[in-house]
Amino acid sequence: MFESLPHMANLQLRWLLTSASRGAQAIWDWYRELGRENDTEARGLRLLREWLSPAQLAQYDAHRYFDVIGCHSGKRYRIRHGTATNIHELDDAGDPTAGWCFVPRDYLVAGDVMLAQKIALETNERGALTVARNFAPRWSAL
């Protein structure tokens, strides 16, 4: 019985090392994935910044939103940083009158989503609003 003790200890040590190794690998994979996601988010924001007008870029940098003018109605829309329910139609006083939600069909990061929304409203407002879901804005001052 005592002769088997070192053997048992050896087995337990091996099990412990294997578990620790798997845990470390899982943490490393998670960390790498987190870094990759951050890279993806950054790439999306970089693309957005390249396509915003100077005024929109200044607005986005200051407030994390930017305004676009609908190509058909001339209405002003505010696109906030986000990937859903982030568009508000504004009246002349700058108060929200309606909320609009439309997004690219595929999963995209926030920068890409906001850029697609901007281009859609500036080039095909009616088409964008046709597919959009309408929602009531929850606050009166943006």
The nearer residue to another protein, 22 or 133, going by C-beta atoms, is 133
CA dist., res. 88 & res. 2, Å (int): 76
The CB-of-119 to another protein minimum distance in angstroms stands at: 5
Q: Residue 90: which of 114, 112, 69, 115 has the closest Cα?
A: 69
Q: Helix or strand or coil: residue 109?
A: coil
Bridge partners of 65?
80
Smallest separation, CB 8 to another protein (Å): 49
Nearer to another protein, 19 or 123 (CB): 123
Contact set with another protein (CB under 8 A):
39-44, 47, 51, 53, 84-85, 101-109, 111-112, 115-116, 118-120, 122-124, 127-128, 131-133
CB of 59 or CB of 122, closer to another protein: 122
Q: How do beta strands 76-80 and 87-90 pair? A: antiparallel
